[in-house]
Amino acid sequence: MRFVKKGILAAGALVLAACAIGASPPQVSAGSEWTSPGGDIGKTHHSRLTAINAENVGQLGLAWEADLGTLRGQEATSVVMDGVLYTSGTTGRAYAFDAATGKELWRFEPEVDMQVNRTVCCDMVNRGVAVARGKVFVAALDGWMYALDAKTGAVVWKTDFIEDRKRGDNSTGAPEIAGDVVVVGMSGAEYDVRGYVTALDLETGKLRWRWHVVPHDPKLGPQETPQLEAALKTWDPNSRWDIGGGGSPWDAISFDPETGLVIVGTGNGGPYATSKRSPAGGDNLYLASLVALDPKTGRMKWHYQETPGDNWDFTATQPMIFTRMKVDGEDRPVVLHAPKNGFLYILDRRDGKLLRANPIVRTNWTKGIDPKTGRPILDPEAADYTTGPKIVFPATTGARNWHPASYDPATGLYVGAVLDMGNLIFMTEGQKPHKARALNNDAALIFTPDVEAALAGFPPAFGEAVRKTPAYAEALKNPASAQIRAIDPLTGKTVWAADTAGWQDRGGVLTTASGLTIYGGVTGKLFVRETKTGRLIKEIDTGSAIMAAPMTYEVGGVQYIAVMAGWGGGGYPFVPRYSAAYNRYNTNRLLVFKIGGGAVPKPDMRPALEVAPAPPAQAPGVTAATIARGQGLFFGNCAICHANQPRSITPDLRRMQPASHEMFREIVMEGLLVQNGMPRWNDILSMDDADAIHAYLIDLQGQTRKDELEKQKVGKPLDGPSLTILSNY
């Protein structure tokens, strides 16, 4: 769809009009333009362009690049309309470039309250913009929707779409155009949120409707909708309403013009364990579900819950693909969806009927999906960690996550990043008090590649209990497998698979009608494979970690491939050795390629690692108990952002300089570095708490310095392996 003389006409507006007169628009893949982050109506991430093909892709090189001016994670897929490329970046920045030359037309930086960073589990990312009616829509990290003039980048209107600023709500997903509204979700289920989606008027930004994922405390009065009254029956009346329930729909929101519905993927429960969230049990609707909403009213039309009573952080927020497919002899409009829980689902978009549910990784939380009821057959002995530590497959990182997959209609293949990994999960006894705008998940997670090494630091009885769990032997035999896979969605069978560098190496995928599959790796390479066979045809070393999905477009008869580059996202402090961001600066870039392009300049190398500086002496009165208390507070509040690794993109607190030690209270308690992304904690932590954390870090820095001096003596590298442990006590 191109610009018309009187402004931008969104593709969704045309197909919505077609639906209004009873037509069924075809699911056409993207061509010269790429009109949404998913490329087309169905978000297939597939292009019908063929100018770049197996015969000439060997000549693919850089056409132009743009420095985005940031150093954090990049997850957006760009949009191209009428020769202009629009994209988004860290905290909700937006950019416009001439798509052929790379000339910057404008850039926009929202005024973000960086205190919200305290409630962002998975980096200050943004997954894209929406373009319609002469406006570019982008949601900022702190929950403000901006409508920008597409020609100038000037703010046309802005709206605060956060319902309760006293809770941990934030925003990282792309907005979605649905007729005359723009629909947006929110994030924060690990904190203290009650999930919801919001629809704003395209022209004015006024609130049109809001749909909540979970009920509110029934003591506060009737629920907002009849559907929530029905959902309330699936919750314990004495649930942890103070924590909110979770369910935040942080990514998957897609408008389906063929049915006239907006389909939304909802998030995980909070706290993680059902027994703590809803002690009497229940399905806890509408957590971990796909729900279909009327874009005019926000009323729910159907729902399908993929993980009833979610106990494992199995969000259903992963990207959906709409297409048509012959299933059981009938041509149907379907949604393909592979959430965290390890299954690839096919549902009828008209009514949410389950057509297929095939496992694509190891799944010991369930013995399978009952095809008659659509419900999982739970396996409590294997995966119920509320009775003791368990190793659960898949891990909370998910078999699939936010990284977009692609559907190639010619081959019928679903191609995407798949992670086959588990994690050890355990929690402490009893209910914990609600912590406002702070982690309330009450669970500790250790991924299976790290389990055996981690057990050395636990009491022997705990290690013995873990080794007796049903999945322990499996975790030792095959801790993790990370691949780009081409899957037959009707059977779940893998047609081909290409290993990635490690479990943190996952990226979005583009396929084209010329038979190419294109994706990036956090190693810094862009890969081109043959879609039918997986044969590697071309790779380009960019020197920048790539997680976002590439896209393609055509201007002036020339086909281009564009991809955002920058390490970050979930687990962003833990930079693996194989990431390009480990040894090179994490300069965020937009990279655009064409046939006959040149070499890709690489970011500068990071300086050599030096021994940790000597820490100051401990304050008077600090004891071993103080340090132990500080360690618990650190892992409960700080470790999700501070990995304490030498190559982390957040400060390694084992290497604090004297000035940081001197100003520790001001940084932690008074927000001295809020604008740098370091929030203040004076509403959660006492001054004694901050001092205890500081004492732990001084002790840790001293031990680190001692260990590194020993390594230096014998010529060992200073950056030894470390564990990825996420916890909240």
What's the sign of the alpha-carbon dihedral 183, 318, 402, 196? positive
DSSP for 235-282, please give it: S-TTS-TTT-EE----S-EEEETTTTEEEEE---EESSSHHHHSTT--
**How far is it, in rounded angstroms, from Cα 648 to Cα 606?**
12
Token output for 162: 């956060």
Cα-based distances in Å from 608 to 125, 187, 582, 708:
28, 37, 11, 14
Residue 212, helix vs strand vs coil: strand
Residue 354, helix vs strand vs coil: strand
Strands (DSSP E) found in 570-700: 589-595
**How far is it, in rounded angstroms, from Cα 549 to Cα 508?**
4
Residue with tokens 């829980």: 341
The rounded radius of gyration (Å) of the Cα atoms in the chain is 25
Residue 648, helix vs strand vs coil: coil
What torsion do the CA atoms of 287, 292, 297, 298 make, to the nearest 10 degrees? 20
Residues 6+ positions from 232 with CB-CB distance below 8 Å: 215, 218, 223
> Do the beta carbons of residue 186 and residue 143 sit within 8 Å?
yes
> Do the beta carbons of residue 395 and residue 504 sit within 8 Å?
no
- Of the candidates 216, 213, 112, the residue with the CA atom closest to the CA atom of residue 171: 112
3-state secondary structure string across 395-455: CCCCCCCCCCCEEECCCCEEEEEEEEECEEEECCCCCCCCCCCCCCCCCEEEEHHHHHHHH
CA atoms within 13 A on the CB side of 155: 14
488 as an active site residue: the answer is no
DSSP for 118-130, please give it: GG-TT-S-----E
Give me the catalytic one of 310, 313, 384, 691.
313
Q: How far apart are the first and last CA of the chain?
A: 51
DSSP for 521-588, please give it: -TTSEEEEEETTT--EEEEEE-SS---SPPEEEEETTEEEEEEEE---STTTT---TTSHHHHB----
Cα-based distances in Å from 647 to 68, 207, 577, 651, 719:
21, 43, 9, 9, 8
CA atoms within 13 A on the CB side of 629: 13
Catalytic residue numbers, as ranges? 313
